[in-house]
Amino acid sequence: MTKSLHSEIVEAEGHLVDSQLLNSIFDRVIGRGGQFEVLEFDIGRDNEAYSKLTLKVSAPTKTSLVEILEALMPLGCHPQPDREATLRQAEKSACVPDDFYSTTNHRTEIKIGERWTEVEEQRMDAVIIVEGDQACCRKLRDVIAGDKVVCGVDGVRVSPEFQERDRLGFAFMMNDVSSERRVEVSVKKIIAIMEEVKSGNGRIAFVAGPVVVHSGGGPHFADLIRRGFVDVLLAGNALAVHDVERALYGTSLGIDLDAGSAVEEGHKNHMRAINVINRAGGIRRAVDQGILNSGVMYEAIRHDVDYVLAGSIRDDGPLSDTVMDLIDAQDQYTNALEGVKLVVMLSTMLHSIGVGNMLPSWVKVVCVDINPAVVTKLADRGSSQTVGIVTDVGLFLHQLRAQLAARPGQS
């Protein structure tokens, strides 16, 4: 056994067993060449009670000890006794000191002076800037020379979301990603979550790819908007173009959606749709001028949905609504996500990962895609917050609409 000269004591408290934190804590120590000794472990006696762990972590070098401590922080471990956060100035804009603390998406507190302060605008892969007694997440590129940046692990406390063992609400289908599941049941539970979010004045965001239109989900999605379940719509140029193309010409990339037959030269309609909208001065004006009369974007505008279309390298056109400066687009996405409690991701890996990067870990995410690899990839990025459903998006939206309409008191 390697002699471990450097050690520190850390503590963690919560549903450490249920959320598999205990296991992960031990894994990370051993996986990084360290050793641990359980000084105290007080297990919750029943399903409600918290567990409490006091652990001595040792490592052969100071550097590896710091690395282990950093790795344990997202699991809720914080060093004992408490120390103040270390602040260093950014010497140059958009750059930070080497030992900067890189954030997770979990609720984080910083010890400034004698007080623990909650960090605002929590998101992953940011740094923490302290101004006076306030702390907030900031993207690397937004750091300004002179900003006080939290460095190292002292004075940082992370509270991971605990996975509830409640059999209701959200935990129900988180066990694994599978196409061999009954989607009708999942839809029922998603509706329950949607209603809960709305009744608590939370906002619901949808991230939607063009497959929503191709697969015939457009009218069903438009119905969700009319029913008030879509507060935010985050998408790319393609969703809007295909939706507009369908509204104007009845096709989507050359597929006649009602007949199901291919109209191979459909690209022409695609470009025509862009030309029509841009000539009108954008989607909103096209609606105002009576040019665009149906579809997802039409309903989004009519029902004041907060929508942002972010550009991508593959965009044709694009529509004049599409934000091609991605720094701007990321900021608009972030702003639109304020107050959102539930995000439903429909068949777009690109925009879904983009949104996932911006979310704190307490926002629930439902990810729907027919490709299990996409669902797995998204769920892996935040396993305690994401439910994955492998199914046909068009039929999923059809089910969602049908079950919403069938609720008591609906028409």
Q: Which C-beta is closer to its own copies: that of 133 or that of 184?
A: 184
Q: Which residue among 152, 160, 295, 318 contacts its own copies (CB under 8 A)?
A: 318
Site for its own copies in 74-133 (CB under 8 A): 74, 92, 94-96, 98, 100, 102, 124-125
What is the distance between the terminal CA atoms of the chain, rounded to a whole angstrom? 70
**How far apart are CB 91 and its own copies at their closest, in Å?**
9
Q: Distance (Å, rounded) from C-alpha 128 to C-alpha 98? A: 14
Q: Which residue among 264, 290, 406, 407 contacts its own copies (CB under 8 A)?
A: 264
Are 268 and 239 spatial neighbours (Cβ–Cβ below 8 Å)? Answer: no
Q: Which DSSP letter does residue 30 get? A: H
The pair of structure tokens assigned to 44 is 């919750």
Span near its own copies by CB under 8 A; candidates 68-76, 78-86, 154-162, 284-292: 68-76
Are 389 and 186 spatial neighbours (Cβ–Cβ below 8 Å)? Answer: yes
Cβ neighbours for 259, distance < 8 A, ≥ 6 positions apart: none
Q: Distance (Å, rounded) from C-alpha 125 to C-alpha 138? A: 9
Total binding residues toward its own copies, as defined by CB under 8 A: 114
Are 47 and 41 spatial neighbours (Cβ–Cβ below 8 Å)? Answer: no
Q: Distance (Å, rounded) from C-alpha 267 to C-alpha 251? A: 10
Q: Which residue among 63, 262, 289, 293 contacts its own copies (CB under 8 A)?
A: 262
3-state SS assignment for residue 235: strand
Cis peptide before 81 (omega within 30 of 0): yes
Q: Which residue among 3, 81, 114, 182 contacts its own copies (CB under 8 A)?
A: 182
**How far apart are CB 287 and its own copies at their closest, in Å?**
18
Q: Which C-beta is closer to its own copies: that of 200 or that of 290?
A: 290
**How far apart are CB 117 and its own copies at their closest, in Å?**
22
**Residues 202-231: x where in contact with its own copies by CB under 8 A, - otherwise, as a string:** ---------x--xxx---------------
Q: Which residue among 82, 84, 120, 184 contacts its own copies (CB under 8 A)?
A: 184
Q: Distance (Å, rounded) from C-alpha 81 to C-alpha 241? A: 57
| Residue 5 binds to its own copies (criterion: CB under 8 A) | no
| Residue 338 binds to its own copies (criterion: CB under 8 A) | no
| 297-302-308 Cα angle (round to 5) | 45
| Residue 70 binds to its own copies (criterion: CB under 8 A) | yes
Q: Distance (Å, rounded) from C-alpha 23 to C-alpha 384? A: 15
Q: Distance (Å, rounded) from C-alpha 86 to C-alpha 152? A: 7
**How far apart are CB 307 and its own copies at their closest, in Å?**
14
- Of 37, 18, 40, 15, nearest in space to 26 by CA: 37
The pair of structure tokens assigned to 284 is 């909103």
Span near its own copies by CB under 8 A; candidates 283-291, 318-326, 337-345, 403-411: 318-326
Site for its own copies in 370-399 (CB under 8 A): 370-373, 376, 380, 390-392, 394-396, 398-399
Site for its own copies in 276-305 (CB under 8 A): 276, 278-279
3-state SS assignment for residue 158: strand
Q: Which residue among 324, 331, 362, 403 contacts its own copies (CB under 8 A)?
A: 324
Span near its own copies by CB under 8 A; candidates 151-159, 195-203, 291-299, 364-372: 364-372
DSSP letters for 155-170: TEEEEPPPPP--SSTT
Q: Which C-beta is closer to its own copies: that of 202 or that of 353?
A: 353
**How far apart are CB 203 and its own copies at their closest, in Å?**
20
The pair of structure tokens assigned to 171 is 């935990």
Q: Which C-beta is closer to its own copies: that of 277 or that of 300?
A: 277
Q: Which residue among 196, 315, 331, 403 contacts its own copies (CB under 8 A)?
A: 315
